[in-house]
Structure 1
Amino acid sequence: MRKRYTIEIADTSQLVVYCPQELLQDKVIKKIAFGSKALDVDYRPHPTKNNSIIISNEVKRRLLFPDFSIKLHVFVDHQVLNLGPLVGIFTAGFTPFPLRPIGDRTNFFAKLLSVKTNVGAIPFVFGEQHINWDTGTISGYFYHDHNWQSMEVPFPHVIYDRLPNRKSERNPKLAKVKQALQSDYLIPWYNPGFFSKLDIYERLQQDQSVATYLPETHPFTSFSMIEDMLSNYGHVYLKPINGSLGLGIHQILYDKIQDEYYCRYQDREGVNRLRKFSSIEGLFKSVFANRHLDKMIVQQGIHLLRHEQRPIDFRIHTNKDDEGNWHVTALAAKIAGLGSVTTHARSGGEIKTLVEIFQPEECKLFTERLVNAALRLSKAIANNMEGIIAEIGFDLGIDKHGDVWLFEANSKPGRSIFSHPELKHFDQLTCKLSMAFAVFLTEQSILHPEEVIKW
């Protein structure tokens, strides 16, 4: 079991570090490190304090160690005592305003950085403009005592990717920063990239442990394919391959008795629409006139559980912990707005706990099935996708037979479910585990770097 130590500062200009005897044991320690900075020091045991490591003012200054009195983890390898972890959170969208340095997302990052004491880590937020490549330092944003402050620190042990959207991810300048920090500085980078719906489907389809959760999904190729799927399922969904927030989703339904087609979608003004057509060609000519159909997928429609005649799906968050194990950290039901094609709040959707809409036996059964599915899917995605994945948001459905279906997996899940008063605790839990995984990843990168490279 890991032990955390309080880092105290001694007012001396000597390069000296006092360590508990239990930490030294039979180890020979010649250096101390914080992030990418390492320093030769004189190590001495101190007889009175077993829970503290004392570093001199000069060591603190040279390591760029911040003035935080929190208990940190210590990792000893190759005669180096590493203090940390120092966790860099990489994002974009910074503003010049000191009270809101990351704009509308400032409150989220404040919550994320506030878990540092519980986790035993020092996290900070930074963008490409805050990196000084010549000195190997970053002028990062720290949140301490309810205030934002900028401090210069070394390159971090690990980096948590919180780029806000696909546009920023495709930015050549940001991609170059990511490549340099990973390849040239060998800094582990977790939760990289946004998922593609089609890519997720094709990779998971090969994994027998989760294939039963997947609705039939294809890239759009022809009207005849949609006709075949409508014949099999009664309704289908057209979704942008790289879409998010429910934007651009269309539901197409076929009435066999009347031989008519219906399309449900949200128009550009945000109004939920349901239109009727006599042919699939007429539907596409009218609704999809200016859309790039080659960037859409067609997905089997599922007859979902309903609450007050409105379809329900479920948002489940999963995170890896400080031992690298997956946990379900949040679970909520999302009820579609009247006439809406999705359950998103901007389309009139509502967020409920499962207890609010199901009887106790149903609630227990559905919770177990959703948790089991989310954990299986998390392991499968982590095993089948590139990069180090430690956090996923799932949109799952349950059909009228009680079977679970995967609709979407998000590497940067939205946080709208946490507006529900009963789910605020889980908001904090997801933040805590997002940082706790950094402890595990830092430990692995120091003690077993060859294994991390394989990830």
Structure 2
Amino acid sequence: MRKGNLITNSGMQDKDDFIIYLSNKFLQTHNINSDTILLKFGSWSKLFTIIKQNSLPQHTISLPERSIPFSIPSTLDLEVKLKGNTLHLGPVIGFIAKKNKKSLNMRALESYENRFEHYNKIKGLLFICSSDSIDTANQTIQGYYYNPEGKTVNTRWRKGTFPYPDSMFKKIRIPTKLERDLRIKLGNKLFNTNFFNKLQFWEICESTERIKHFVPQTNQYKQKRDLQDMLSMFDRVYLKPIRGKKGEGIYMINKEANFVTITNYLKEKQTFRTLYELETYLEKHIRYEDYILQQGIPTIYKNKHVDFRLYMQKNMDGTWVCQGSVGRVAQEESIVTNLKQIAHMSTGEKAIRIVFQVDSEIAKQIMNNAIIACREVCNVLDQKLGHFGDVAIDLIIDNDYKPWILEVNNLYGVKSLEILKDWETLSVLRSNPFFYAKGLGGF
């Protein structure tokens, strides 16, 4: 991969707009022997006639301005990839961050600046856009590209119209029709594609032999009989909304010798003498089809629930790696570990040492087993639910050190890491998707 600078010249008045000016040194460096070349920038490409112009610097490419239907910033550091007769400049990477262009103001753009702190290693044209700024008819996108030389907000983010990129990362839900079009045009170069609920996740895990043992037994709550069946198998069952609500709407049901208890996410506990009484209570509070029933896994530490979050991302080679982890101990009697109800939080390995009273070496092995499970699950997600590259996985580790995957989030927050002041993990999580996007785009 070699460096290349692209300039457009509005003063050129060639009869043929599709002329590209290259120096002899450029042609020799890249072993270009033909009279024409296919210039590719993002998903846009056009055949150009080569004109030698030795006054150009060795790494510079010059084109008539009108030959390209969008602006290419000449200040950016582009890489050159030659394959056959195609001269590919890039990478061009898009990031869909908002739903509407009005919300993509300078304040919002500046909040994403830390995602581009490693631009000098990624290079190319990196731009942020909203989903409503994507023109599927012309295959162009309006947005703001990141200018690494900008010293102020207004110079750091420059507005422009860009081609469909080499690869695209999205962090929001976008209209189904738009996503379908992007997938058709970009192929597998669009990642974090599908959003799925807890039931869909369990169904693909349960149907895949190599990972089914990593997930608790889960069923959709369709009728009273479903709860009876689960409580006949397990003494503890969780009732969870199919679509995540940050812990809201979760119930824990415990079967005792002569009664049954239910505790909600607010720590409110009620006792019922019979299962029929409990079912009558639930009929007033939930809609069956919106909930799942899940096997409860014992993970109590000093009468407190414990779970873990592992941050999984693909590296530049497309391999899933764990970038960091958090261990979360809930408040006493709380059944959820959201930030409002956490008693203690630390890195994953430290939490394992404390909860299981093991040394660093054993804690590391327990965490490695959890990472292996998460990696297997991530690979299956790619095979069956879409194309992903950046997710957070919530799991439990039982008293036998076995990991149980509870949920996969591809819209996740990083508040826990900010509280822990884990700046190193935060930095990696924010910037790494663009390294993966670069590799995905062929650079």
SS in 1 for 2:3: strand
Provide the rounded CA distance (Å) in 2 between the counterparts of 1:331 and 1:356. 10
1:290-301 matches, cutoff 5 A? 290-301=285-296
Secondary structure at the aligned position of 2:312 is classed as strand
| Equivalence for 1:366 | 366
Asked if structure 2 preserves the Cα contact closer than 8 Å seen for 1:20 and 1:47, the reply is no
What TM-score, normalized to structure 1?
0.81
Runs of 4+ in 1 over 6 A off after TM superposition: 25-28, 45-49
Instruction: Note if contact 1:353-1:422 (Cα within 8 Å) is conserved in structure 2.
Output: no
Structure 1 residue 24 displacement after superposition: 2.6
Which of 5, 8, 18 is equivalent to 1:7? Answer: 5
Deviations 1:21-60 (A, max 9, x none): 34336687613221233341526598998xx731226369
2:387 alignment partner, SS class:
coil
State the Cα deviation string for residues 155-183 of structure 1 (Å, max 9, x = none). Answer: 222222221xxxx54xxxx2222222333
**How far did residue 402 of structure 1 move?**
0.9
Q: Which runs of 5+ in 2 are unaligned?
A: 13-18, 354-358
Q: Secondary structure of 1:151's match?
A: strand
How far does residue 142 in structure 1 lie from its aligned partner after superposition?
A: 2.8
Match of 1:344 in 2: 338
Question: Where in structure 2 are the equivalents of 1:75-224 lying within 5 Å?
Answer: 75-90=81-96, 91-95=98-102, 98-101=105-108, 107=111, 109-133=112-136, 135-144=138-147, 145=150, 147=153, 148-163=157-172, 168-169=173-174, 174-183=175-184, 188-224=189-225
Distance 1:35 1:231, change over 3 A: same
Q: Taking structure 1 as reference, are residues 225 and 369 closer, same or farther at Cα in structure 2, changes over 3 Å only?
A: same
Residue 310 of structure 2 aligns to a residue whose secondary structure is: strand
Change (3 A) 1:135 1:294: closer
Q: Do residues 16 (structure 1) and 10 (structure 2) align?
A: no
In structure 2, C-alpha distance between the alignment counterparts of 1:231 and 1:89, rounded to whole Å: 48
CA displacement 1:177-227 (0-9 Å, x = unmatched): 222233367583211121222222222223222121111111113334323
3-state SS of the aligned residue for 2:436? Answer: helix
Q: Distance in 2 between matches of 1:65 and 1:330?
A: 39
CA distance in 2, matches of 1:327, 1:29: 42
SS at structure 1 position matched to 2:422? helix
1:324 partnered with 2:312: no
User: Which residue identity lines up with residue 368 of structure 2 in the other structure?
Assistant: E
Aligned mates of 2:32, 2:20 — CA distance in 1? 21
2:56 pairs with 1:42: no
Describe the SS at the equivalent of 2:255. Answer: strand
Label 1:314 to 1:45 Cα distance change in 2 as closer, same or farther (>3 A).
farther
- Asked if 1:354 corresponds to 2:348, the answer is yes
Cα distance in 2 for residues equivalent to 1:194 and 1:87:
21
Contact conserved, 2:90 with 2:125, CA < 8 A, in 1?
yes
- Given that 1:125 and 1:141 are in contact with CA atoms closer than 8 Å, whether structure 2 keeps it comes out as yes
Gap change, CA 1:121 and 1:408, over 3 Å in 2: farther
How many residues align? The count is 420
Aligned pairs for 1:440-455 (under 5 A) are: 440-443=439-442
Q: Secondary structure at the match of 1:242?
A: coil
User: Which residue of structure 1 lines up, in the alignment, with residue 356 of structure 2?
Assistant: none
Residue 276 (1) aligns with residue 271 (2): yes
Answer yes or no: is the 8 Å Cα contact 1:238–1:296 preserved in 2.
Answer: yes
Structure 1's 44 and 284: CA in aligned 2 closer, same or farther, altered over 3 A? farther
What CA distance in whole angstroms lies between the structure 1 residues aligned with 2:372 and 2:388? Answer: 18
Report 1:256-267 matches (<5 A): 256=257, 259-266=258-265
**Counterpart Cα distance in 2 of 1:374 and 1:280:** 36
Q: Distance in 2 between matches of 1:329 and 1:27?
A: 46
Partners of 1:113 and 1:142 within 8 A in 2: no
What is the Cα deviation at residue 426 of structure 1? Answer: 1.5
TM-score normalised by the chain length of structure 2: 0.83
| Amino acid across the alignment from 1:98 | N
CA distance in 1, matches of 2:256, 2:196: 34
| SS of corresponding position for 2:93 | strand
Structure 1: segments with no counterpart, 5+ residues: 445-455
**Which residue does the alignment assign to 2:15?**
none
Please give the alpha-carbon distance, in whole angstroms, between the structure 1 residues aligned to 2:35 and 2:310. Answer: 46
Structure 2 distance, partners of 1:134, 1:371, is: 42
Cα RMSD between the aligned structures?
3.1
Task: Please identify the structure whose Cα radius of gyration is greater.
Answer: 2
